[in-house]
Every structure is written in structure tokens, then in C-alpha cells.
Amino acid sequence: MMEKTVAPMKKKTSFSKKKQKLVMIIMTIFTGAAALIFLMPTFLTIANSFMNSAEISANYGSVFAKTETGGKTYISEAVNLKFIPDMVSFSQYYTVLFKSPDYLLKFWNSVILVVPIVVFQLATAALAAYAFARLKGRLKEIIFFVYIIVMLMPYQVTLVPNYLVSDFLGILNTRWAIILPAIFTPYSVFLLSKIMRRIPVSLIEAAKLDGAGEFQIFRYIALPLCKSVIYSVAILVFIDYWNMVEQPLILLDDTNMHPLSVFLSKINSEEIGLAFAVATIYMIPTLLMFLYGEDYLVEGITYSGGLKG
């Protein structure tokens, strides 16, 4: 009787394992296909940046063609998407790096704007988040609630106030009009404060018994425990401001100070190859940050960390 009972159980277990294996195979295929579709524009951009102008015009000329009045034409033929150039050419990169300094100027404009924003926003956010995590009281809760309300507002809503304040402070049409508002963005404060609240009170009390002050607790306990989350926030902030368009267009009249993100949209149809090359160069800092801090990013997003509030 026992043998008869065990046999169906083994069959049921075997069927369950086969079902799980089938589900895993289907999910793997689906995930791989989704990843290929997602990465296709990136691969296409990099591959096309190594084509010469004639090959790009032959493949994509109909996409960027315009009428005599400057309007777009109807695409009557299929576009030839090519991932492997007929002949590898570095002429686009040579033009961007050596013959056309405007592109490099705009690239360094992006760096000059984004690096201070990331550094000082993280410094400000870490200090503010630690204060929100440590302080108690009604006033703190009200201020934090205001932070959340401001964070929920799209940036376009705050553009006019930022413009008026920048004009009042006399920093309009300077890089400070973009850098200063970005330093005090509440998004980073919100994320870091949620993590710092999970630091065990026992660690802080032990540090206090050893004679540590608040700044020492912040430096030697809070920051190391939140390192992965801080790096995740740094990547998100960098990507956000590396791709900014509205702020420079509204707050900077001088086009020589515009970042590359604005200048990319102004590349005309006669420079399609240059657009691919510039876009590839433009992706390099973001890719390097992601590849260098991939482990920190994954750990920060899926953070459980073993810390309990």
C-alpha cells in the first residue's frame, strides 16, 4: 500500500520539476528577446557610427529626407537597418574629435554641469537624510512631507519659479542657474532618508557610548552602511541631468554653454553620420558609470541589507 502511495508522489514531483523547467525556459527566452529589443537602438547607433556618409545616406536617407519647404517626406520604401557596416570607417569620429570642436565643447559643457550637481547633491542629500533619520518631532515630519510633495511635482512645474528666483539672484544665464536648484533636489533626500532610518539604533547607541559625536556616527556608520544606495542614487542623478534639455533651454540664453544633450537635437539631416558618432561618445560616461558600479546599483535597488529599523 505504501509503495502505491509513493509512486504517484514521485510522478507528481517529476511533473512539477518538468513544469518549472519549462517555465524557466520560456521566461529565459522572453527575457532574452526583450533584452535584444531594448538594446537594439544602442547597438544600431554604435554600428552606424562606423559607417561612412554614403552608406548612411543609402540606408537611412529616406528617413531624414525633407521637402522643399523643410517638412518631412513620406517614407515609401523600407528602411535598411544594418548592424554590420560594409566598410568600417572612422571618418565620423575624426570629424567630431578633430575637425569640429563644437561637439567636444558641448560635451565638456555637460561634464561641467553634471559633475558638480552629482557631487554636491549627494553631499547635501546625505546630510539632510541623516538629519531626517535622527531627529524627532512634528516640525521634522512637516518638512519631510513638504519634501515629498515637491518631489512629486514634475520639473516643468518648477521651471518658472526657478527662472524667477535665478533672475532675482542675478545668476540667470549662468551655469549656477542650473547647478544650484539641482543641488537641493528632494529626490535623493527621500531615498537616502528611507535607508538611513533602517540603521539599527543599537549601532548608534554603541557609538555614542564610545564617545562618538553625530558627525562621526554619520561618517563612520551611516555612510558605509548606505554606500551601495548612495552609488545607486549617484547613477540615477547622473543619468537624469546628463540627459537634461528643458533647464538649459530656459535658463541659458548663450548657446555656447548648452550641454551636448541639447546640441544633439540640433544636428541637421546633412550630418546623420556625425549624429551617430556623437551619440556614441555621449553614451560612454553613462555606460562606464554603470559598468563600474553595476554591483552597487543592483545591491542598492534590491537593498535589504540585513538592517532592521
pLDDT of the residue at 304: 44
Beta carbons within 10 angstroms of residue 40's beta carbon: 12
pLDDT, average across residues 197-208 = 85
Taking CA atoms, 43 is separated from 181, 269, 279, in Å, by: 35, 21, 12
Range name among 69-78, 191-200, 202-211 with the lowest pLDDT average: 69-78
Q: Smallest Cα–Cα separation from 250: which of 156, 129, 151?
A: 156
Q: Is residue 66 helix, strand or coil?
A: strand
Beta carbons within 10 angstroms of residue 36's beta carbon: 10
Range name among 15-29, 218-232, 234-248 with the lowest pLDDT average: 15-29
d(CA 38, CA 40): 6
150-183: per-residue pLDDT in tens? 777 877 788 888 888 888 988 988 999 999 989 9
Rg (CA), the chain: 26
pLDDT of the residue at 263: 80
pLDDT at 238 over 50: yes
Percent of the chain, pLDDT > 70? Answer: 81
pLDDT at 63 over 90: no
With a CB cutoff of 8 Å and minimum separation 6, the contacts of 116 are 179, 183
Q: Smallest Cα–Cα separation from 190: which of 128, 242, 98?
A: 128
**C-alpha cell recorded at residue 36:** 535584444
pLDDT of the residue at 309: 42
pLDDT at 189 over 50: yes
Mean pLDDT for the chain overall: 80
Q: Is residue 84 helix, strand or coil?
A: coil
d(CA 38, CA 47): 16
d(CA 127, CA 177): 23
- Contacts of the segment 281-284: beta carbons below 8 A, 24+ positions apart: 281/93, 281/96, 281/103, 281/107, 282/107, 282/110, 283/42, 283/45
pLDDT of the residue at 2: 46
122-134: per-residue pLDDT in tens? 999 999 889 888 8
> Do 279 and 264 touch, CB atoms closer than 8 A?
yes
255-300: per-residue pLDDT in tens? 888 898 888 776 655 577 778 888 888 888 888 888 877 777 766 6
Higher per-residue confidence, 20 vs 120: 120
State which H helix or E strand residue 75 sits in.
none
